[in-house]
């Protein structure tokens, strides 16, 4: 069992931002700030209980980045699902990227890359076979970010978003 206190103090290495940003598992106290980042940066918003359920179920996949002043500037959250594998009918554990966002003034410093790679590592304990995500076909920066981490476009999901934009379904098999 991991206690909340341990979660709070768990520090992940943060590549080139080591001096500037702290990457750690989200806590209940952080949720309002996470929601604020989400609502400012993404049109896909969720109710409080949605974040809370993900935090309760998969805390290792729910990371935040905070600056020296303690301000939360980015988050990532994953959900783990049992579903048929892309390559076979076998049921496998898939990690589904629910959402990632970095506040506007903090981008292009490797924060998203660090959040992604650290969270993918820390959810390995669920014996993940596939990492999957959807991204707007127009979201060039995010697509580049995922491609840099070896995700490949697997298919297009038509009218995936509320405004009817298509999504790329991207996949990384391990």
Tokens 């806590």 found at: 27
If one asks whether residue 77 binds ligand ACO (CB under 6 A), the answer comes out as no
How far from chain centre, in Å, is Cα 172?
Answer: 14
Q: Which does residue 169 bind out of Zn ion, ligand ACO, none, counting CB within 5 to 8 angstroms by kind? A: none
Whether the CB-CB separation of 101 and 138 falls below 8 Å is answered with no
CB 160 → Zn ion: shortest distance, Å?
9
Per-residue DSSP letter, 163: T
CB 48 → Zn ion: shortest distance, Å?
19
User: Rounded distance, CA 41 to CA 59, Å?
Assistant: 22
Site for Zn ion in 130-159 (CB under 5 A): 134
If one asks whether residue 108 binds ligand ACO (CB under 6 A), the answer comes out as yes
If one asks whether residue 41 binds ligand ACO (CB under 6 A), the answer comes out as yes
If one asks whether residue 133 binds ligand ACO (CB under 6 A), the answer comes out as yes
Binding test (CB under 6 A) with ligand ACO, winner from 2, 4, 87, 141:
141
CB 143 → Zn ion: shortest distance, Å?
15
Strand partners, 168: 135, 156
Tokens 């959810």 found at: 123
If one asks whether residue 72 binds ligand ACO (CB under 6 A), the answer comes out as no
Report the sign of the C-alpha dihedral through residues 114, 131, 171, 51, in that order: negative
User: Rounded distance, CA 52 to CA 59, Å?
Assistant: 10
CB 91 → ligand ACO: shortest distance, Å?
23
Residues near Zn ion (CB under 5 A) are: 134
């Amino acid at each position: 069992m991991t206690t909340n206190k341990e979660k709070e103090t768990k520090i992940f290495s943060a590549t080139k931002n080591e001096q500037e940003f702290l990457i750690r598992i989200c806590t209940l106290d952080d949720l309002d700030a996470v929601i604020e980042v989400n609502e400012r940066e993404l049109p896909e918003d969720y109710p409080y209980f949605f974040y809370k359920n993900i935090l309760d179920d998969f805390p290792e996949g729910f990371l935040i980045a905070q600056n020296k002043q303690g301000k939360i500037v980015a988050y990532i959250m994953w959900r783990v699902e049992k579903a048929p594998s892309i390559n076979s009918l076998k049921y496998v554990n898939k990690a589904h990227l629910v959402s990632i966002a970095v506040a506007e003034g903090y981008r292009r410093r490797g924060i998203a890359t660090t959040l992604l790679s650290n969270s993918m590592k820390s959810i390995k304990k669920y014996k993940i076979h596939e990492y999957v995500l959807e991204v707007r076909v127009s979201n060039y920066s995010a697509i580049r970010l995922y491609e840099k981490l070896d995700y490949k476009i697997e298919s297009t999901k038509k009218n995936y978003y509320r405004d009817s934009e298509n999504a790329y379904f991207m996949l990384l098999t391990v």
